Amino acid sequence: MGDFSDNIVNQRFSRVFQELEKYNLIKGKSDLAKKLGTYNHVINSILKGQRNITVDQLQKLFLAYGVDANYIFGNGDSIFMDGYPAYGEIPTRSILDRELGGRENITLVPAKALAGYATEMQDDKFLENLQKFSIPNMAGELMAFEINGDSMTPTITNGDIVVCEAIERGQPLRDNNVYVIVTDVVVAKRIQQVREGNNVARLNLISDNDAVYKPYPVELEEVRQILKVKCRLTSYAIS
């Protein structure tokens, strides 16, 4: 078997792999293999210098993780394009960190109330009936949503609560960040902005569990509210 370890692309791919693990954007070789449309043993062989990474795998790497192609081909020092890899990081805390009483600045929308929120989010009486809580060191008027389903696994799991800050209409968004998008339903998704001329016309909503859930577009005029996910509360063990 040949030695491909001197290939600059393979060398830099190994460095990218280390950074993806560092930022918790992947959970091992099998996770990366899934994103690149290949197998665990193929990723292992590339990392060991036993084969070259393919063009198709590189293209998927660039798209999925914002890796800068110039870096991969030895023409730059920045591994990620501007704005990355922060998009993959959602600070995670235990659901037990919630505090009741005192300055309760976070309004919780439980899973059973998500449909109601989509239609009544501007109704003060609806909001007043929702539970409120606080989290140490999280200030401002925030919203929290209980996530139902596995479309954002492993970033957000079923039963997690995402704490969000509302984005004013017209405020810049960042592609590949996780937002809560409110139309006639409430969903947590990564976004990619689709422009027509200089204006954003629609958003592509992207699930992290992309083997099961495919991206789909939403016209900007259909969007009632956008909230930036600031923190994830989970009942699962945090490593």
Predicted pLDDT at 216 = 95
Predicted pLDDT at 1 = 47
CA–CA distance, 127 with 117 (Å, rounded to integer): 8
What DSSP assignment string belongs to 99-165?
B-SSS--EEEE-GGGHHHHHHHTT-HHHHHTS-EEB-TT--SSEEEEE--SSTTTTTS-TT-EEEEE
CA–CA distance, 208 with 156 (Å, rounded to integer): 9
The terminus-to-terminus CA distance of the chain in angstroms comes to 38
Predicted pLDDT at 108 = 96
Predicted pLDDT at 57 = 94
Predicted pLDDT at 103 = 76
Predicted pLDDT at 164 = 95
CATH of the domain spanning 92-234: 2.10.109.10
The list of the chain residues with pLDDT below 50 reads 1, 86-87, 237-239
For residue 23, give the amino acid letter.
Answer: Y
Q: pLDDT of 32-44, one tens digit each? A: 999 899 999 999 9
Averaged pLDDT of the chain: 88
Contact call for residues 198 and 133 (beta carbons, < 8 A): no
Domain 8-88 is found in CATH 3.20.20.70: no
Tell me the domain boundaries of the chain.
8-88, 92-234
Residue 74 buriedness (CB in 10 A; 0-12 / 13-18 / 19+): exposed
Predicted pLDDT at 130 = 95
What DSSP assignment string belongs to 166-227?
EEPTT----TT-EEEEESSSEEEEEEEEEEETTEEEEEEEE-S-TTTS--EEEEGGG--EEE
